[in-house]
Structure 1
Amino acid sequence: MPRRRALGLVSSLPLLGVPATGAWAQFRVEVAGVGLTRFPFSAVNFRGNDAASENIAAIVRADLERSGQFVFVPPLNGSFDETSRPDLAPWRERGADSVLTGSVTRLADGRFDVRFRLWDSVRTADLGGQSLPSTPANLRVAAHKVADYVYEKLTGEKGVFSTRIAYVSKAGNTHRLWVADADGENAQAAFTSNEPIISPSWAPNGTQLAYVSFEKRKAEIVTHEVATGRRRVLASFRGSNSAPAWSPDGRQVVAALTLSGNAQLYAIDAGGGEPRRLSQSGSIDTEPVFSPDGKQIYFVSDRGGSPQIYRMPAAGGSAQRVTFTGNYNISPALSPDGRWLAFISRINGAFRLHVMDLASGNVTALTETGGDESPSFAPNSRMIIYATRDKGAEALMTTTVDGRIKTRLAGAQGDIREPEWGPYLR
């Protein structure tokens, strides 16, 4: 079974302002595979960008290419910004269906003003633009927001480049909970420990994480405010407290507790209090996750003799089995649009990522690797992040739901595990 890591307490630091240092500070992005349709686009270097620490156009290009839905066309020579009205015919002849221009201006208060405009070179249309004031430290966020704008204008779907991911690392005896941009860059340690940390889960408003900490030499569920670093123990009941999952309204956390001896599902108010038992079985029930509408809970149980995925009403009640392909299915993840169920299935001893179309029940294997774990959907339901072993090393990967496009966010040495894709910030 894929390993579930855990972490304990050495220090707890506020996320904001903590520098990302050493081998874990940056990821290298590698894209494999192509989609059936890709939008050819071009982006010129933003005027005035030399005064900034981040190359806005380069980040936008990397974001769009990583989605697998865009292909970059080298820009024409010349100076362009958001105020220019370029002759789009030469861009169209070069094969660029859209063109992004912009500027970066340092303001008197030390901030930057990132401005951009998007052009449709096929229809010769102005697709609009924005002004994004930014601190020097948040220039990458501004660039991701530019990419989100371009993505939405050209695909009709909301972009996820300005969202965040959380994951866990282990290097030697040091365990860390990280929060990073969706591309894996700008990683900052939210929590550092000499004991394990497992199962990070984002609150639906994107401001908190719940996770399991072993800092007191037992499994406790802790909630953690990402911006301030403030932590609070939510569940430290008798036995084990594990696998937290937030309800879509953020009012409660469902977790696997061993109050009755075997792991069962319980609901706990997000503000704390006594747990309310939801599942009633003599087996092990764990890894709960809510359906997007909050009406059902999917979870893993061995009540049928081997681990399978079931669902039951969110208030508790009788459970229905969901997975029937294979005899070992774990780690359910629901897409935010409610269409897909991602999970890990053991096939001939290999743990591989699969996805089920919930309407039809059809199951598709998305990978050919053997150590996949912890799938989590992007908030637009278009991609899945997961941990795996790739090229002999542990890594974070993303894949499109059809499995055609995969991205490797490859770190340096050590374990990289338990990724969780954060929601859109509210």
Structure 2
Amino acid sequence: MLPVVCLAEGFTLEQVLGAPFPYGLTSAPHAPRVAWVFDNKGERNIWVADAPQFVPRQVTHYKGDDGQPIASVRLTPDGKTVVYARGSEVNKAGTSADPQSLAKMPKQQAWAVNVSGSEPRLLGDIGCSEEGCEDLQVSPDGKNVVWPAKKHLWIAPIDGKKKAEQLEELLGESDTPRWSPDGKRIAFSSNRKDHSFIAVLELASKKITYLAPTTNRDAGPVWSPDSKQIVFIRQPGLESKRPLIPEFPRPWALWIGNAQSGEARELFRSGNAM
């Protein structure tokens, strides 16, 4: 066999740290279009492409590495509008990252932009505190978007003609909002520290229905196609005093509930194996 000599080519640290990369790929529910974020040396912008050629084109035009990430990119069902979160999560002091030391502190906010070309329009503030907490959810008709912020749920029209409104004033912290397929209700998790509920908000009446509420921890609501039932995960509630290294398993179960009556039943249980 002939010997093979591999010569390593030199590269700079700047080339490594500045390598461009895409992330956050998403697709339109009813249109042949995808969208994603492209990070080019810290300059983050949204791009789209249409089937079948998938030729990419830039939608937003933010300039320079301003330290403001883009997350939770969503396309409306018709693929004509992109909604997204821009800005970093807030710290314990309630402020977002400001690497450029701007006179006006940047905020983490929800935005919308037309794919055909327009300036991004502000929908409202977010300001969530955990990494990956951005969770924008577009309504089935593509007219509204809901997201968790400041411990509650907020809703705004995607056309930007009205300010975002707070949907509820429940105790604890509301997150993971999910639209019913018919667009009439929103299911979400209502966290109360050591336990949590699956709540269903009827938009027309503002009525709240809890699905078989207990002291367990319920999360991850998923709607049935007919908007009548919700599947969710149930885990035991957290004990007030737990050992540093838990010696017990973390069992979980799948439950299904009636979105209107709140009645629910168990579908599957994981068991108590370690």
Task: Give the TM-score band, short-chain normalised.
Answer: 0.5 to 0.7
Change (3 A) 1:404 1:394: closer
Written as runs of structure 1 = structure 2, the 5 A alignment for 1:13-412 is: 203-205=28-30, 238-258=67-87, 261-269=106-114, 276-281=120-125, 283-284=127-128, 286-302=134-150, 307-316=151-160, 317-367=162-212, 368=214, 370-387=216-233, 389=235, 392-393=250-251, 398-401=256-259, 402-408=262-268
Instruction: Give CA deviations for 1:86-122 in whole Å, capped at 9, x if unaligned.
Output: xxxxxxxxxxxxxxxxxxxxxxxxxxxxxxxxxxxxx
- Change over 3 Å in CA distance of 1:319–1:380 after alignment to 2: same
Q: CA RMSD in A?
A: 4.7
- SS at 2:136 equivalent: strand
**Cα drift, residue 242 of structure 1:** 1.6
CA shift in 2, pair 1:283/1:343, >3 Å = same
Q: Distance in 2 between matches of 1:381 and 1:286?
A: 24
Q: Which moved more, 1:318-327 or 1:254-263?
A: 254-263
- Which ranges in structure 2 are unaligned for 5 or more consecutive residues? 1-22, 89-104, 237-248
Whichever residue aligns with residue 314 of structure 1, its letter is: I
Q: 1:380 to 1:201 in 2, by over 3 A?
A: farther
Structure 2 CA distance, aligned partners of 1:342 and 1:288? Answer: 14
Give CA-to-partner distance per residue, 1:4-42, whole Å, 9 cap, x none.
xxxxxxxxxxxxxxxxxxxxxxxxxxxxxxxxxxxxxxx
CA–CA distance in structure 2, aligned partners of residues 313 and 232 of structure 1: 25
Distance 1:409 1:220 in 2: 44
| Alignment deviations for residues 240-278 of structure 1 (CA, whole Å, 9 cap, x no partner) | 22223331322222111118733211224458x787132
- Segments of structure 1 that go 5 or more residues without pairing to the other structure are 1-196, 414-426
> What is the Cα deviation at residue 365 of structure 1?
1.8
Structure 1 length normalisation: TM-score?
0.38
- Give, in angstroms, the shift of residue 349 of structure 1: 2.8
Question: Does the C-alpha gap of structure 1 residues 384 and 217 become closer, same or farther in structure 2, counting only changes over 3 Å?
Answer: farther
Q: Secondary structure at the match of 1:279?
A: strand
Which amino acid is 1:392 matched to? R
- 1: distance between equivalents of 2:157 and 2:85? 16
Contact 1:283/1:301, CA 8 A, preserved across alignment: yes
Structure 1 counterpart of 2:164, one-letter code: A
Residues 369/379 of structure 1: CA separation in 2 closer, same or farther (3 Å cut):
farther
Give the whole-Å Cα distance in 2 for the aligned partners of 1:388 and 1:209.
34
- Letter aligned with residue 262 of structure 1: K
TM superposition shift of 1:385: 4.1
Contact residue 264 and residue 286 of structure 1 kept, 8 A: no
Is the alpha carbon distance of 1:295 and 1:206 closer, same or farther for their aligned partners in structure 2, counting shifts above 3 Å? closer
| 8 Å contact kept, 1:265–1:286 | no
The amino acid of 1:364's aligned partner reads T
CA distance in 1, matches of 2:257, 2:38: 29
- Count of residues in correspondence between the two structures: 208
Q: Point out the structure with the larger helix share.
A: 1
- Report the Cα distance in structure 1 between the residues aligned to 2:38 and 2:210, rounded to whole angstroms: 32
Task: Kindly report structure 1 stretches of 4+ aligned residues shifted beyond 6 Å.
Answer: 206-214, 216-225, 230-237
Superposed CA offset, 1:159-212 (max 9, x none): xxxxxxxxxxxxxxxxxxxxxxxxxxxxxxxxxxxxxx98x8663238777788
* SS of alignment partner, residue 293 of structure 1: coil
1:374 positional shift = 3.9
Query: More relative contact order in 1 or in 2 (CA 8 Å, sep 6+)?
Result: 1
Shift of 1:376: 3.4
Deviation sequence 1:305-341 (CA, Å, 0-9, x none) = xx11122221223122111222311121111212211
Cα separation, 2, equivalents of 1:263 and 1:325: 23
Partner of 1:166: none
- Cα distance in 2 for partners of 1:231, 1:408 equals 44
Q: Report the AA paired with residue 296 of structure 1.
A: N
